[in-house]
Structures are given as structure tokens and as C-alpha cells.
Chain A
């Protein structure tokens, strides 16, 4: 029902008293959603911990197949994108339309770089027959190094963790593109930048998850 009164700002929905209540609600809602996300990934981390506690030697061996260098590069890429998102929010708060657009663009670019690197990592592994579960069919050289009956399970966990995380990156890119289009139309300013703020929260969480995935998967010596 279009029950907007003339002085209710356009971006404020009818059931909120004022802009601030709407902003605070959106942020709280996003945080509650992030709790979901943490528990969602938590299940995967739990599987990881259980299997690592059972077969520590498997994890040491298998991690050697993961390329630490590219993992580290991806970490840097994601941290950089987190920084640009934070800068984007700052730009919106300061009414800097241009800054907002540029920061969003860089974020999208970095997220794409992350996915491209991830893609090449996957391709390399699948090429060597390092696939999850019953598709586990390593080349003889790999099989010689990675001689463990449960090796397929490590990579089952690895693929699930990184794929679910990658899916979140893709969703993040879609959201950023949407934000960018809206930013170009001048929808955001210091009075109203709620979507930028809460998408930023989401993106930082994606970064947070990777901050833990990186040492747990790549850095086991």
C-alpha cells in the first residue's frame, strides 16, 4: 500500500519509523544471517576437524598437492577486495559517487581474479586425477606420494569447502554488480547506503572464511 506520506524519505519503507531504524534493522538482519553462514560453513569445518583428528598423516601428505603460492596469492586478492569494499562504504558515506563506483569495480575485478586462480587450481588437480570420492583416480606419480586409503576423503572435504566458498564469491560478484549499477544511477548517498553496507558485511565474511581455509588446507607442513 502506497501509504507514504510526503515527508517520509523515499527509501524508508512504510513500516519503519525513520531511516535510522531501517538501517539498524537491515544491519542486525544481516548479522543474524551471517550467524547462519558461520554455522553453515561450521559443518564443513567440523567434518574437517573430525577427519584430521583421525588421520593427521593424511592431511600432511595431501596438503602437499595444494599449491601454497597460489593459495597465498588468493588470500592477498581477497584481503585487497575486503579493503576496497570498506573503502566503497566510506565513499558512500562521504557522498563520493565516483569513489564508490571505482571501489566496487576493483572489488568485482579482484573477486574475478580469485575465481580464475581457483579455476586453474581445480583444473590442474582434476587433470592429475585428484577428484573426490569414487572419481579418485590419481596418476601413478601422485599415487606414489599420496599413498593413503582415505586420500579421496581429504579431497572430498577440500572440494566441498572451496566450492561452497567459491559459490559465495560468485553470489558476492552478482551483488556487487547490482550495487555498481545502482551506484551509477546515483541511488546511494550519505543518507542511504544500506545495501552497500550489508553487502560489505557479507563480503567480509567470505573473506573471513578464506582466512581460515587458507592455513587449514594449504599450510600443513
Chain B
């Protein structure tokens, strides 16, 4: 009687396994890259790039944002934006202090 689920996307098993394997490969990759010992800013940049890629795969396909309404994606992006806001404004203080931790 309630058969019209237009919005519900059913992912194929192949797709899901593909994403799972991609995530595995990226995990191996990030461990390997960390082992190389890249110079300072590049190691963290590389690690974060891989982590973000993995996060994108999980959010888009496992969590189904790719097929979902745009608003749910907006929520996720919004949350990240506010997190970045919090960090960057806090860093405006902590990076520019005369005295790192005020002494008591």
C-alpha cells in the first residue's frame, strides 16, 4: 500500500564492496606514506588528503549522500565549516600570543 519509495536508493553489492576495497587500499597507502617520512608540512598534508578522500567515500556512498537530498550534504559541509571556523579563530589567539601559556 505504501510502495512508492522514489527517493530510496538501493546501492548494489558491487558498489559497496568497491568502496570498501578502495577504503582498504587508502588505509594501506596512508600507512606507507607515513613510513616514508616526508618533510614537515607535506606529511600532514598527505595524511589529511588521504583521510579526506576516505571520508568523502564513506559520506557519499556508505551514507548515501550521493543519492540523497542536497540539504543533508549541506548539513555535513556546514558542520565542517563551523568546525574550521572554531579552529581558525582560536588559532588567531594561540598562534599570536607573546607568552604561549600564560604563567601563574
A contacts, CB < 8 Å to B: 7, 9, 12, 18-20, 23-24, 27-28, 31-32, 34-35, 38-39, 42-43, 45-46, 49-50, 53-54, 56, 68, 72, 75-76, 79-80, 82-83, 85-87, 90, 93-94, 190-191, 200-201, 204, 207-208, 211-212, 214-216, 219-221
Contact = CB atoms under 8 A, between A and B. Distances in A.
B65 to A, nearest CB: 9
A179 B63 CA distance: 18
A221 B34 contact: yes
Contact of A35 (B27, B69, B75): B75
Contact of A208 (B19, B31, B44, B55): B55
Interface residues of B, number: 56
B71, B75, B91 — which one has the most chain A CB atoms within 10 A of its CB? B75
A28 B91 contact: no
Given A85-B62, A207-B62, A215-B51, 10 more contacts: A12-B2, A23-B8, A42-B83, A45-B83, A53-B91, A54-B100, A83-B23, A86-B16, A212-B51, A221-B43
Contacts, number: 142
B48 A83 contact: no
A78 B75 CA distance: 24
Nearest to A211: B54
B102 to A, nearest CB: 13
A174 B57 CA distance: 26
A75 B87 CA distance: 25
Given A46-B87, A219-B31, A82 B79 contact: no
B1 A93 contact: no
